[in-house]
């Protein structure tokens, strides 16, 4: 049950686009289209942003998009806004029927 | 509205036990899988345990297997986490989270309850 690998931090200027990667194995990310992404502000509970690799829940901005290639999933945020500054976590279903999170990525909007 | 309220956290000595609760409202609790997810201070999210909608299957992270027990009472719309043999490394905010059956994502989270294991 090793954590998925995410970059510790990414940054971008308002209006730019950034991408956060999430690398797993053939037993989790690579095996299923069950990758989800969560946004977390300090001291708050996580919020679902993307599910099933690329689907957005109702109410989430279309500036957020997801994709996957092989064992690596990605979250892209376009048109960066100050309010996007937060921690982002990926999660995947695993072949053991458990779940696994990435280590988290701190997004800084410059 | 859909709501999960976590409770039961506190300060506990190493080796002792604690039981967390998660009260659900605003949805049909008995039709959803439920999880516990924790976050150590300044660290990332760690999945802890899952219980199926009817309690028939339970899964645990290796780090808590044999020490923690997840359970639910669908008549009380409440999820539990019994934590035994607590260690300093179990110190974290514990969140309950809802998962639609066979959908594999967490669409609703509790506010979290802090567990501190310290002598």
Contacts of A44 (CB under 8 A, 6+ apart): none
User: A110: which DSSP letter?
Assistant: -
Q: What is the pLDDT of residues A53-87, one digit of tens each?
A: 999 999 999 999 999 999 999 999 999 999 999 99
How far, in Å, CA of B90 to CA of A8, rounded? Answer: 23
**With contacts defined as CB-CB under 8 Å, which chain A residues touch B37?**
46, 101
> At residue B102, does pLDDT exceed 90?
no
Contacts of A3 (CB under 8 A, 6+ apart): A100, A101, A102, A103, B44, B46
Q: Which residue of B has its CA nearest to A94?
A: B104
Average pLDDT over residues A86-100: 97
**With contacts defined as CB-CB under 8 Å, which chain B residues touch A40?**
45
Q: What is the pLDDT of residues B40-73, one digit of tens each?
A: 999 999 999 999 999 999 999 999 999 999 999 9
High-pLDDT (> 70) share of chain A, %: 100
The residue among B101 and B77 whose pLDDT is bigger is B77
**With contacts defined as CB-CB under 8 Å, which chain B residues touch A99?**
35, 47, 50, 104
Q: pLDDT category, A102, cuts 50, 70, 90?
A: very high
Our CA dihedral for B114, A107, A88, A73, rounded to 10 degrees, sits at: -160
Average pLDDT over residues A12-32: 97
Contacts of A61 (CB under 8 A, 6+ apart): none
Q: How many Å lie between the alpha carbon of B119 and the closest alpha carbon of chain A? A: 25
pLDDT at A54: 98
pLDDT at A109: 97
């Amino acid at each position: 049950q090793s954590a998925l690998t995410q970059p510790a931090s990414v940054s971008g200027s308002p209006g730019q686009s950034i991408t956060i990667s999430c690398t797993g194995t053939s037993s989790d990310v690579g095996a299923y289209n069950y990758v989800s992404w969560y946004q977390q502000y300090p001291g708050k509970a996580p919020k679902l942003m993307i599910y099933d690799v690329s689907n957005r829940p109702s109410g989430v901005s279309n500036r957020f998009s997801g994709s996957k290639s092989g064992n690596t999933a990605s979250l892209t945020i376009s048109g960066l806004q100050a309010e996007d500054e937060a921690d982002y976590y990926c999660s995947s279903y695993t072949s053991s029927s458990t779940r696994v999170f990435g280590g988290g990525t701190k997004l800084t909007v410059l | 509205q859909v709501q999960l309220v976590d409770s039961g956290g506190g300060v506990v000595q190493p080796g002792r036990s604690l039981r967390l609760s998660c009260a659900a409202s605003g949805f049909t609790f008995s039709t959803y899988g439920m999880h516990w997810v924790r976050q150590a201070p300044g660290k990332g999210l760690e999945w802890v345990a899952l219980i199926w909608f009817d309690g028939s299957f339970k899964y645990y992270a290796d780090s808590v297997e044999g020490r923690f027990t997840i359970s639910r009472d669908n008549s009380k719309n409440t999820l539990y986490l019994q934590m035994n043999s607590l260690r300093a490394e179990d110190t974290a905010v514990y969140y309950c989270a809802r998962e639609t059956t066979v959908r594999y994502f967490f669409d609703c989270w509790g506010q979290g309850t802090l567990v501190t294991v310290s002598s």
